[in-house]
Amino acid sequence: MKSTSALMNELNGSEDIGAFLSKNKESLDTQSFADYLCRIVKEHKTTKIEVIRQAQLNQIYGYQIFAGTRLPGKDKIIAIALAMKLDVDTVQRLLTLAGEPQLYAKNARDCILIDAINKGIDVAELNRVLFENGAQCLK
């Protein structure tokens, strides 16, 4: 497996994208959001239903996320992350796999989200902090 920076260097010097993709297919990420999320659930020795409850998600919607039939938005990913007590790096990976922007330390609301993840608070407490700081609560 090549590092991201090694892939970027090679890609920048590549003349043929097809050849690059073929040569580097072992290093390219093909994992889906749902597959990664299910793997994390197993690693944390928890259950889907427990994550759905802790994240305060609608049960049907939560199972659709785990099945890969629905991609959650940023706020739902944050709720899932808080439910599972994930670290910021894992959250950033989930956001990327879902096609959502990563958390950005120059954005005030994202700073609150990062702090909540680092402190391991729950969804209700995060919403209280967001509200107190004039930021939009999780949807």
In a domain, 13, yes or no: no
pLDDT at 1 over 80: no
d(CA 8, CA 47): 37
In a domain, 20, yes or no: no
What is the pLDDT averaged over residues 28-55? 94
H/E stretch holding 67: helix 59-67
In a domain, 36, yes or no: yes
In a domain, 24, yes or no: no
pLDDT at 124 over 80: yes
Give the pLDDT confidence score for residue 2 in this predicted structure: 84
In a domain, 9, yes or no: no
pLDDT at 29 over 90: no
In a domain, 73, yes or no: yes
Contact between 99 and 71 (Cβ < 8 Å) = yes
pLDDT band at 26 (very low <50, low <70, confident <90, very high): confident
What is the pLDDT averaged over residues 40-58? 96
Give the pLDDT confidence score for residue 3 in this predicted structure: 86
What is the pLDDT averaged over residues 43-48? 96
What is the pLDDT averaged over residues 19-36? 88
In a domain, 5, yes or no: no
Contact between 37 and 80 (Cβ < 8 Å) = yes
Number of structural domains, the chain? 1
Average per-residue pLDDT in the chain?
Answer: 95
d(CA 22, CA 10): 13
In a domain, 18, yes or no: no
102 is in which domain, residue-wise?
A: 30-132
pLDDT at 30 over 90: no
pLDDT band at 28 (very low <50, low <70, confident <90, very high): confident
